[in-house]
Chain A
Amino acid sequence: MKCDSLTRAFTLLIRRDLILAMRHRAEMANPLLFFILVTSLFPLGIGANPNLLQAVGPGIIWVAALLAALLSLDSVFRSDFEDGTLEQYLLSSHPVSVLVLAKVLAHWLITGLPLLLVSPLLGVLLDLPAAGIKVLFVTLLLGTPVLSLIGSVCVALTVGLRKGGMILSLLVLPLYVPLLIFASSAVDTAAAGLPVTAHLSLIAALLVLALSLSPFATAAALRVSLS
């Protein structure tokens, strides 16, 4: 019985966040536009030499993805914090970590998934070979949830602060480093025609680790922020 109500709370929470996002479509499009804009600024800045673009392309796309994720993170708990819903989550009889996981999953569906879908297009823009684009898609598929999960811990720590934005980037970006390294070197390796199973396994390991640990850290951080 209790398990059922937990599943229900989980799905309801995701549905609520998705509906809220659909009602604010412009806000939802912002991180995506940012992602595309930043990526397309690079060829203008460093020159459109195809060899150069191929060499730096994976790094550019991944750095742009990190920044877009950073930009969208503030919205995970912000509105819930402001109208007091967040306190109701903490007071509810369900484990906070599960509710947090629902919030993060909804956040990924809203911001990570569009990014993922548009990434092959950016790969083409930056002259990546077909093998590289395929692997880029897989790394983003495995990696963007990690961005949301790790980011949720830091955003939970800064949600009560007035000037949380700058601090958030200082907290989040160092933690994103391993993912950036593994993912962009996976795309590089694939573009060179070498096997990438090891890279992808490492990113998947990061995902499993983040998925199993970060909801608890986020729940603890929310408790501290709202105390």
Chain B
Amino acid sequence: MFNNFFHKMASPKYFYRIAGSLIPWLAGACLLFTLAGLYYGLYLAPPDYQQGESYRIMFIHVPAAWMSMFVYVVMAGAGAIGLVWRIKLAEIMVISSAPIGASFTFLALVSGSLWGKPMWGAWWVWDARLTAELILLFLYLGIIALHGAIEDRRTAARAVAILTLVGVINIPIIHFSVEWWNTLHQGPTVTRFDKPAIHISMLIPLLLMAVAFKLYYAFVVLMRARCELLERESNAGWVRELVESK
């Protein structure tokens, strides 16, 4: 039964339908969480005793930085599945995720530099995490460029999957190498094993925003995947039926 479910989900026709019915729910939930997170973060949370009001950029910056990593890991997972089992949908997921991941990375860099100007007195410093994030952006751009350069869509998807897997081995190495090279950024405050070093009134909006960003990714990637699916399968019977029925 379980197996059957996956077979069904992996068939483009079912995926297209189920994704279509999921998107409004995910988008609605995303809107709800964003509003709640922004309200909590911008009005209810107290100003920081050191950084004043400008720390509130964190509610965008930190979830964006988390998502930039998360999306890459999802891409690597989907890429591995696509390469091993030749599942078309997994390949589509990889390439649909890449621009979203790149934009999250870009958002994290921009919001970080907006925060850095009042805090560190510079738009850009060669700090370890900033540098790692910048290299991550280059990796995303490389993936997008490679996909754009190969004409055949299946070949492009598999090439991109291999590149993503090579990148995912490199990301921890890049991360540690730059961390060890130079560090100015504040250490992790949420993912420590003992009590988080962040006050609960700031943690709640942060987590709300993190969920909102996840939901945003989920519904946008489904929209992109549906579009990609239609373009690829434009000759398939079910697409023709879909178009004719409308």
Which residues of A line the B interface, CB within 8 A? 153-154, 157-158, 160-161, 163-164, 167, 170-171, 173-175, 177-178, 181-182, 185, 206, 209, 213, 217, 220-221, 224-225, 227
Contacts and interface: CB of A to CB of B under 8 A. Distances in A.
B139 interface: yes
B162 A171 contact: no
If over half of A's interface residues share one DSSP class (helix, strand or loop), that class is named, otherwise mixed; here it is: helix
Contacts of B173: 178, 206
Contacts of B165: 217
Interface residues of B, number: 27
Interface of B: 83, 135, 138-139, 141-142, 145-146, 149-150, 155, 158-159, 162-163, 165-167, 169-170, 173-174, 176-178, 180-181
Given A224-B155, A227-B155, A158 B149 contact: yes
A171 B146 contact: yes
A174 B149 contact: no
Given A171-B145, A209-B169, 13 more contacts: A154-B163, A157-B159, A157-B162, A158-B149, A171-B146, A173-B138, A174-B139, A177-B177, A181-B180, A206-B173, A213-B169, A221-B162, A224-B159
B159 A225 contact: yes
B123 to A, nearest CB: 22
Contacts of A220: 83, 162
Nearest to A202: B177
Given A177-B135, A220-B83, A225-B159, A158 B146 contact: yes
A87 B142 CA distance: 26
A157 B163 contact: yes
A167 B146 contact: yes
Contacts of A153: 162, 166
